[in-house]
Chain A
């Protein structure tokens, strides 16, 4: 038997064994989804953030590092935003709930650099959902002795 026939036969067997997806009657979930969607849509697309005392505006969902670079705040990021160097780490002064939750790679990096605290985040990983105020840990690139 050739490979194509094998594939077709396999697909037919899988399909006959698995129950077809019938309509899901879960009004509670449908309403919760609709309400959340409305809530998300009502949020403004641009959010104000404060970076080392400098007020900038950024697109919701973008990273802190991206926003900083776009607005001329030369935040250090030696590894190229790959969570390795933690030179982009910032201390969140206010609005930590407006940042996306910390993921495993970010936690690992901060732990590796002995910087785990609920208020310390990697600017390359933290995405912004609302107003937030942060202070960079390392000096900004322009502020280094050699520029």
Chain B
């Protein structure tokens, strides 16, 4: 069973209830998306999980503040990812030292516990590529978000997303030495 099947409420209805400050809707939203948002943040950061928790917290608070302005022209998850993306960027920009660590830190210990040989190698390679490449790969192949929605999250054009994806795949293959 898919995770989303457990939540029968339509997204439009959920948004309306969230805007009205409904407690149950807030819980439903959290249960539906928090884990995926956390995974996106952890993968984008590729660094210690404590930082991912901090960014997650900031994201949810900013999300609560921004929800009244959500016009519904993207999915709620895209909207949340866009906020998370900006929080991640902000962390990268304000801390140059962390940024340099991000480029080298392996993501394996955060994102996977399935330590088979191939996965370990894949995660090592994923940890070595640039954060923006890692982020776009996660959005496209793990979160399965459409290119148009990724463009909204990253605030770039669809063609730029396509070319970034191509560069990211190439970088990952190079890192895997394929």
- List residues 14-33 of chain A with CB under 8 A from any CB of chain B: 14-19, 21-24, 26, 29-30, 32-33
Q: Are B23 and A34 in contact (CB under 8 A)?
A: yes
Q: Are B141 and A24 in contact (CB under 8 A)?
A: no
A82, chain B: closest CB distance, angstroms? 16
- List residues 64-85 of chain A with CB under 8 A from any CB of chain B: none
A32 to B64, CA, bound (A): 10
Task: Please count the residue pairs between chain A and chain B whose beta carbons lie under 8 angstroms apart in the complex.
Answer: 96
Q: Which of B26, B56, B118 interacts with A34 by CB under 8 Å?
A: B26
**CB nearest to B25 among chain A residues:** A37
- What are the residues of chain B within 8 A of A23 when measuring CB–CB? 31, 35
Classify chain B's interface size.
35 or more
Interface centre among B112, B137, B142, B169 (most CB of A within 10 A): B142
A46, chain B: closest CB distance, angstroms? 12
Q: Are B61 and A21 in contact (CB under 8 A)?
A: no
Q: Are A21 and B36 in contact (CB under 8 A)?
A: yes
- The interface bits of chain B over 99-128 (1 if a CB of A lies within 8 angstroms of the residue's CB, else 0) are 000000000000111100011001100100
Q: Are A19 and B31 in contact (CB under 8 A)?
A: no
Q: Are B18 and A21 in contact (CB under 8 A)?
A: no
A88 to B137, CA, bound (A): 41
- The 13 sampled A-B contact pairs (Cβ below 8 Å) are A10-B141, A15-B142, A16-B114, A17-B118, A18-B39, A18-B142, A23-B31, A30-B30, A33-B63, A36-B64, A37-B18, A40-B67, A41-B21
> Which A residues have a C-beta under 8 Å from some C-beta of B?
10-11, 13-19, 21-24, 26, 29-30, 32-34, 36-42, 45, 60-61
